[in-house]
Amino acid sequence: MKVPWKRVHSWKCLACGSCCKVYKPRLTFYEYLRLPKQFVEERRGRYYIRKINGRCPFQYGNLCAIQEKKPLSCKLFPFSIYERGEDDALFVYKDEEYYVYVDTFCKNLKLGKPSKEFINAIIEAIKIYRGEKTTPELITSRRALGTFFS
Ligand code: SF4
Ligand code: SF4
């Protein structure tokens, strides 16, 4: 379930890997072209990482092996950013309006009044969404940042 960011107190990724096992990440067309064909699929004009044996083929242990090519939707999880939404989801950054929702799947997420750290995480997510930043520092566990394979 996705809730507007104003209803979330805090969230911290501990690199448990559960979201990678459950979700089928959506890809941009460019991301689709960059990944090996046997690991991606197209359905009704949308692009995804293909689940193989029920999991993402790029997950090794709990961690992601494609840090350099990690899809935007994976970098942003549990955040989703839209151009339209509810008032509670509105976040203004550099005079531009974004509607930010948070997936409550992650058990390390707490509902309540947003903390300062959580607001900083949203700002980082928007910077990544806008292409101002490529490597997450706040919204991905430090444990998950190591690259095993190039
Ligand atoms: S976002 Fe949550 S579910 Fe996903 S790896 Fe981090 S702690 Fe686990
Ligand atoms: S590409 Fe990486 S972050 Fe995305 S689902 Fe697969 S293992 Fe997880």
Q: What is the DSSP letter of 67?
A: G
User: Is 149 part of a structural domain of the chain?
Assistant: no
Domain count, the chain: 1
| Closest residue to atom 4 of ligand 1, CA basis | 19
Name the pLDDT band for 139 (thresholds 50, 70, 90).
Answer: confident
At 11-31, the pLDDT tens digits run: 999 889 999 998 999 999 999
At 17-72, the pLDDT tens digits run: 999 998 999 999 999 999 999 999 999 999 999 999 888 999 999 889 998 899 99
Structural domain boundaries, residue 105? 2-23+62-144
User: Is 80 part of a structural domain of the chain?
Assistant: yes
* Whole-prediction pTM: 0.90
Residue 3 phi, psi dihedral angles, 5° rounding: -125, 150
Please say whether the dihedral angle defined by the alpha carbons of residues 16, 141, 20 and 112, taken in this order, is positive or negative: positive
User: How far apart (Å, rounded) are the C-alpha atoms in residues 75 and 58?
Assistant: 14
For the Cβ of 17 lying below 6 angstroms from any atom of ligand 1, the answer is yes
User: Is 32 part of a structural domain of the chain?
Assistant: no
Ranges of H-type helices in the chain = 18-22, 29-34, 72-76, 116-130
Alpha carbon 138 to chain centroid, angstroms: 12
Q: For ligand 1, what atom is nearest to the CA of residue 12?
A: 7
Question: What does pLDDT average to over the chain?
Answer: 91
User: Is 47 part of a structural domain of the chain?
Assistant: no
CA distances from 147 to 17, 69, 134, 150 (A): 15, 11, 15, 7
For the segment 94-110, the average pLDDT, to the nearest whole number, is 96
Cis peptide before 78 (omega within 30 of 0): yes
Cα of 134 vs centre of ligand 2, distance in Å, is 16
For the Cβ of 147 lying below 6 angstroms from any atom of ligand 1, the answer is no
For the Cβ of 106 lying below 6 angstroms from any atom of ligand 1, the answer is yes
